[in-house]
Amino acid sequence: MCRACTAISGGLVPFVLPPLPLPEPSTRQPRLPANLHDCIVPDPLCPHILATDHFTHWLTPFGIAKLEQAFGLFPPHEMIRCCLIMANNVLPSTLSNYSLGLTHFTKFCNDLKVPKEDCMPVSESLLSMFISNWAAGSVSKSTRKTWVKGLSMAYY
């Protein structure tokens, strides 16, 4: 437990961090897609987990560099707290929709053999190719907007 003291009016008041919100454990197991063409190549940065967890558990080289930079500025417990609070304040259905976009984008990049370093942050040209070649005509406009929103938030 992390403790600190704060000086107030010449006295010391102990400061105790509140407990971190923990995610609820899931009994569900990830499954392979019905169409094996939709499978993603095994990758340590994109482990085989529930789709709803892709948004919070998948990493990119860019995201790793950003995390290392942030860990140089902030204590690890504060970084963990920040990530948990952000993940717990987004509706599971929204995370699921964002994750679906990440899954399709990852598959798109894998199919085109785009280097991981070039996938995130996503360039305007790569995003345009993804939307026009992968999503247009196969999903609704609102779904495409959700996917783009998820990609714009997925810098880790």
User: Amino acid identity of 135?
Assistant: A
The per-residue pLDDT string of the chain (156 residues; one tens digit each, 9 = 90 and over) reads 444 444 555 556 565 655 655 556 666 665 656 665 666 666 777 777 776 677 677 777 777 888 888 888 999 888 888 877 877 777 777 777 887 888 888 888 888 999 988 888 888 899 899 988 877 777 888 888 888 888 877 654
The pair of three-digit structure tokens given for residue 147, joined into one six-digit string: 């996917």
Predicted structure pTM score: 0.62
The three-state secondary structure class of 41 is coil
Closest to 119 (Cα-Cα) out of 63, 47, 65: 63
Give the angle subtended at the CA of 126 by the CAs of 120 and 130, to the nearest 5°. Answer: 110
Structure tokens at 55: 């948004």
Question: Which pair of tokens denotes residue 132?
Answer: 């026009």
Max intra-chain CA distance, the chain = 68
Are 104 and 134 in contact by the 8 Å Cβ rule? The answer is: yes
